[in-house]
Structure formats: structure tokens, C-alpha cells
């Protein structure tokens, strides 16, 4: 765990370097597409005086100068399964985005959707030496959080302090400078499969780029798709991707739970392919053009040519009604949504004050989903699209780009994570020079 912890620290330094250079790339490695955005940071806002909150929630600090999407290769369930193929696809996307941006990008922030995310709530508390809380105390209380046994090969992807409590006052966002005797903190920790991260790191290294940050795609889509009061009051974002469906629950603007279902739009496609005996590409086309989940009487009369190239006239002149396609798609979509419901129930989503659910991601564009989803997930369901950011091409504003946009916001304003705080003094080796320097700093 420490090595990723250290590399997360290094990535934060890398991100700072990238912001200084002003250009950073966003890479969303999904099962069905790989998207790359190139962001240019022009420093703080210059057009108007800042009153603490920048315009467009502060995300006008950057603009998208390059965007490219390519068909994903070698990715299954949001995890890299064929490295060379994925590396080629990443190269294609990055090169096209660089070409559009007319600049070279050396730093990349990536997200991945699969890799079996598992979320943990950690709690820790310490007695304060000094009644006033300092940064060092925050670091100590974070270090005091008991880390569960994550598993042999699992790594920490996010570790965000969610809540601080001083004595009996809870719900503090920033305890520094406040006075108390005992400080407690709640932390949300998201662990993922280490091998998937290693594969991703390797692919990005093969593309001559430095990783400046890594995030879970369900977290990123939550940032971009949930509006501010949803994030504040409590909401779940369901990112329905190609190979996996991400779930993230937000409350008080913190992610408090994340999970993933290893089902997605490609399973729907393969169902169509199997059910209609057509190729995957054709099945994808039929799904995109004629798909749906609520059948009406009209759909029986709408016939779709599914063709074929076997040379058998009967086989190649087949038609299928739209109702049949819907009949194939609906069970799978229901299965996905039920799986999501199960995960949300397991996480205790029904105890949140507000139970808004936002569906986003490419698979959320199925017509009729807004009628089907409330039956399974509850009444407060809406189909979400990501925030609009400056310079994003029209083609990349759809729901399929929710995690891309969220990652761009994440690049501009990352939440404080565990590794953004200083290491507590006790963790330094006893004879370390840095410990001596720190002692002088603190006592003089």
C-alpha cells in the first residue's frame, strides 16, 4: 500500500508541474471507447474579480483545446486485458488530441472504471496535545485511521477525509485552528485491484507520458453529472458504461461510497448479437439506432433489416421487429439496474436524506430508460449529462463523456486526499534529518 501511497504523492507533484506548464491530458479508458481531452490552464481567472467561487464553479480556469475519441481495444470490464492493443488505442487517441491541440502533452490524468472497486469507511481519533488543531494534528488523525486488510494485491485509489469531529461537534469540514481535546475523523477509502493499475501505468508509460493522477471513473462521473445540491444532500451517480457500471454515492460534496457492477452496454450488444444471430458490429448498430426498453404497439410494425453476408438469400433478407429487439435488451438492462439496486441497498443508500439517482454514461442514452429505471431504482431518478466545460466539442458533450468531463474538473480542483497532508512526525524514522528540521520549524 505504501508504494501507491508514495506514488500518489509523486502524482500530485506531477500534477502541479503540469499545471505550471499549463497543459494536461485527460484519458478515460473505457471498455467501448478511449477518450482523450487536452486541457490548457491559463492560470486564475483574469476576466473578472474572483469572489472565492470562480465562474462556472471554478472550472473556467481551463479550456479544452483538444479532444479525441477512439474505439477501445483490449479492454474488458473496464480493465486492460490486452496491453499492446490498449496501448495502440491510447496512442491513437492521444495523438489525435495532440494534433487538434497543436501541442505536446506530457502529463496525463487517467481514470479506469473496472478493477473491482471496494469502498471502506474508516474512522480514527486522537487526543490533541495542544487544544488548537494544527495541520500536523490532521495528519495524525488521518494516520490513526485503522486501515482494514485490503487484500494482497489491492491498492488504495482514493482516501478522502470526509468528516472531522472535535469533541462532540461533528460535521466539520476543516478543523484547523479550532479548539478541542479529542479529534476524530471519518475517511472514505476506495481500493481497487492492483494489477489493473499496474497495467494502466505500464500502458501510459509505453506512450511516453507521465501519470499525474488517477481516479475512479465512477467518482469522476459523479463530479460532473451531479449538480451541486445533489452532491450536498446526497445522491447516487450510476455511470452506465460499456463493460461496467460504476456507482458512486455523494453526500456533503464528498464521495462516501463507490462500487462497480461488471455489466454494461456491451452485454446488451452481445445479447442482441446472440439473439438475432448477427455480428457484434451490426448488433451495436441496431442497438444504437433502434434500441429501447419500453415496447409499444408501434414497435411491432417497425421492421429492421438485419441482413447478413452468407450468400443464403433467406438468411440475408431477415427482418426483425423493433419489439423483438426491445425484448432482448430490456431483461439485460433490468438486470443491470437490479444489480445496481442491490449494491445501493447493501451500501445503505435508503438511509440518506435525499435519494436522488442520476443515470449517466453511454448506456443511459437508451430510449425509454427514464421509464424503466424508476420502477427499479425508485422515484427520484433522472438521466444526467455532464457539466458543460469551455471548449469541449459538441460531439463530446454527451452522457458518454461524463467521466471525461469529471476528470477534467478533478484535474482542476482535486479533493484533498490522505496524501495531500504531511506525514505525521511519528512516521518519520527516529534519526531522520527531516524530523530534526521539522522539530526546529515547529519550535522556533
Partner 1 sequence: MQPIERAARRHDPAPSRWAYRMHRLWLTPAVRRLLRLGVPVAISGLALLYVFSQPQNRTVLTQMVSEIRRTIAERPEFMVTTMTIDGASAELAADIREVVPVDFPISSFDLDLAAMQAMVAGLDAVAQADLKVQPGGVLHLNVAERVPAVVWRAEGNLELLDEGGRRVAALAERGTRADLPLIAGIGADRDVPEALELLAAAGPVSDRLRGLVRVGERRWDLVLDRDQRIMLPETGAVTALERVVALHQAQDMLARDLAAVDMRNPARPTLRMRPHAVAELHRIKGIELGDILQ
The answer to whether 373 and 251 have CB atoms below 8 angstroms apart is: no
Specify the residue, 106 or 299, whose C-beta has the smaller distance to partner 1. Answer: 106
Specify the residue, 47 or 102, whose C-beta has the smaller distance to partner 1. Answer: 102
Specify the residue, 209 or 337, whose C-beta has the smaller distance to partner 1. Answer: 209
Distance CA 85, CA 42 (A): 35
Specify the residue, 91 or 318, whose C-beta has the smaller distance to partner 1. Answer: 91
Inter-CA distances, 314 with 286, 317, 321, Å: 20, 5, 17
Specify the residue, 70 or 218, whose C-beta has the smaller distance to partner 1. Answer: 70
Interface ranges with partner 1 (CB under 8 A): 70, 88-89, 91-92, 94-95, 98-99, 102-104, 206-208
User: Nearest distance from residue 103's CB to partner 1, in Å?
Assistant: 6
User: Nearest distance from residue 313's CB to partner 1, in Å?
Assistant: 28
Specify the residue, 25 or 165, whose C-beta has the smaller distance to partner 1. Answer: 25
Specify the residue, 12 or 88, whose C-beta has the smaller distance to partner 1. Answer: 88
The angle at the Cα of 245, spanning 227 to 284, to the nearest 5 degrees, equals: 110
Distance CA 424, CA 142 (A): 9
User: Nearest distance from residue 72's CB to partner 1, in Å?
Assistant: 12
Specify the residue, 209 or 251, whose C-beta has the smaller distance to partner 1. Answer: 209
User: Nearest distance from residue 76's CB to partner 1, in Å?
Assistant: 17
User: Nearest distance from residue 106's CB to partner 1, in Å?
Assistant: 9
Specify the residue, 94 or 377, whose C-beta has the smaller distance to partner 1. Answer: 94
Specify the residue, 186 or 284, whose C-beta has the smaller distance to partner 1. Answer: 284
User: Nearest distance from residue 108's CB to partner 1, in Å?
Assistant: 12
Distance CA 326, CA 347 (A): 31
User: Nearest distance from residue 284's CB to partner 1, in Å?
Assistant: 18
User: Nearest distance from residue 90's CB to partner 1, in Å?
Assistant: 9
User: Nearest distance from residue 89's CB to partner 1, in Å?
Assistant: 6
The answer to whether 146 and 124 have CB atoms below 8 angstroms apart is: yes
SS3 string, the chain, reads CHHHHHHHHHHHHHHHHHHHHCEEEEEEECCCEEEEEEEEECCCCCCCCCCCCCHHHHHHHEEEEEEEEEECCCEECCEECCHHHHHHHHHHHHHHHHHHHCCCCCEEEEEECCCCCEEEEEEEEEECCCCECCHHHHHHHHHHCCCCCCCCCEEEEEEEEEEEEECCEEEECCCCCCECCEEEEEEEEEEEEHHHHHHHHHHHHHCCCEEEEEEEHHHHHHHHHCCHHHHHHCEEEEEECCCCEEEEEEECCEEEEEEEECCCHHHHHHHHHHHHCCCHHHHHHHHHHHCCCCCCHHHHHCEEECCCCCCCHHHHCCEEEHHHHHHHHHHHHHHHHHHHHHHHHHHCHHHCCCCEEEEECHHHHCCCHHHHHHHHHCCCEEECCCCCCCCCCHHHCCHHHHHHHHHHHHHHCCCCCHHHCCCCHHHCCCCCHHHHHHHHHHHC
User: Nearest distance from residue 14's CB to partner 1, in Å?
Assistant: 18
User: Nearest distance from residue 81's CB to partner 1, in Å?
Assistant: 14
Residue 107 bridge partners (DSSP): 210
Specify the residue, 96 or 294, whose C-beta has the smaller distance to partner 1. Answer: 96
Amino acid at each position: 500500500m505504501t508504494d501507491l501511497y508514495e506514488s500518489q504523492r509523486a502524482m500530485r507533484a506531477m500534477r502541479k508541474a503540469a499545471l505550471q506548464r499549463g497543459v494536461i491530458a485527460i484519458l478515460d479508458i473505457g471498455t467501448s471507447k478511449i477518450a482523450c481531452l487536452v486541457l490548457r490552464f491559463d492560470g486564475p481567472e483574469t476576466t473578472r474579480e474572483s469572489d472565492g467561487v470562480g465562474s462556472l464553479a471554478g472550472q473556467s480556469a481551463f479550456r479544452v483545446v483538444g479532444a479525441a475519441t477512439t474505439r477501445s481495444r483490449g479492454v474488458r470490464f473496464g480493465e486492460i486485458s490486452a496491453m499492446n492493443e490498449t496501448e495502440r488505442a491510447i496512442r491513437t487517441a492521444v495523438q489525435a488530441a495532440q494534433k487538434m491541440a497543436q501541442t505536446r502533452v506530457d502529463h496525463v490524468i487517467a481514470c479506469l472504471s473496472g478493477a473491482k472497486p471496494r469502498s471502506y469507511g474508516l474512522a480514527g481519533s486522537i487526543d490533541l496535545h495542544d487544544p488548537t488543531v494544527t495541520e500536523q494534528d490532521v495528519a495524525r488523525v488521518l494516520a490513526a485511521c485503522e486501515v482494514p486488510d485490503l487484500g494482497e494485491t489491492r491498492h488504495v485509489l482514493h482516501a478522502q477525509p470526509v468528516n472531522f469531529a472535535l469533541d462532540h461537534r461533528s460535521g466539520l469540514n476543516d478543523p484547523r485552528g479550532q479548539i478541542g481535546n479529542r479529534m476524530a475523523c471519518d475517511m472514505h477509502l476506495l481500493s481497487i485491484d492492483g494489477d489493473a493499475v499496474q497495467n494502466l501505468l505500464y500502458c501510459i508509460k509505453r506512450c511516453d507520458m507521465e501519470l499525474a493522477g488517477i481516479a475512479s471513473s465512477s467518482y469522476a462521473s459523479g463530479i460532473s453529472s451531479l449538480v451541486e445540491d445533489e452532491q450536498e444532500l446526497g445522491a447516487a451517480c450510476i455511470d452506465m458504461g460499456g463493460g461496467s457500471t460504476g456507482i458512486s454515492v455523494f453526500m456533503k460534496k464528498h464521495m462516501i461510497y463507490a462500487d462497480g457492477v461488471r455489466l454494461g452496454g456491451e452485454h446488451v450488444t452481445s445479447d442482441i448479437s446472440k439473439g438475432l444471430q448477427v455480428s457484434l458490429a451490426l448488433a451495436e448498430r441496431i442497438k444504437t439506432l433502434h434500441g429501447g426498453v419500453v415496447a409499444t404497439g408501434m414497435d411491432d410494425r417497425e421492421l429492421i433489416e438485419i441482413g447478413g453476408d452468407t450468400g443464403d438469400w433467406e438468411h440475408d433478407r431477415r427482418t426483425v421487429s423493433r419489439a423483438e429487439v426491445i425484448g432482448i435488451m430490456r431483461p439485460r438492462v433490468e438486470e443491470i439496474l437490479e444489480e445496481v439496486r442491490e449494491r445501493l441497498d447493501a451500501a445503505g443508500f435508503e438511509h440518506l436524506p435525499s435519494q436522488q439517482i442520476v443515470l449517466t454514461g453511454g448506456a443511459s442514452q437508451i430510449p425509454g430508460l427514464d421509464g424503466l429505471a424508476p420502477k427499479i431504482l425508485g422515484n427520484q431518478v433522472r438521466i444526467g449529462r455532464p457539466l458543460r466545460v469551455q471548449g469541449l466539442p459538441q460531439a463530446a458533450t454527451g452522457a458518454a463523456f461524463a467521466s471525461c468531463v469529471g476528470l477534467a474538473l478533478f484535474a482542476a480542483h482535486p479533493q484533498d486526499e490522505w496524501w495531500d497532508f504531511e506525514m505525521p512526525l511519528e512516521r518519520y524514522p527516529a534519526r531522520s534529518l527531516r524530523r530534526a528540521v521539522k522539530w526546529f520549524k515547529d519550535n522556533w
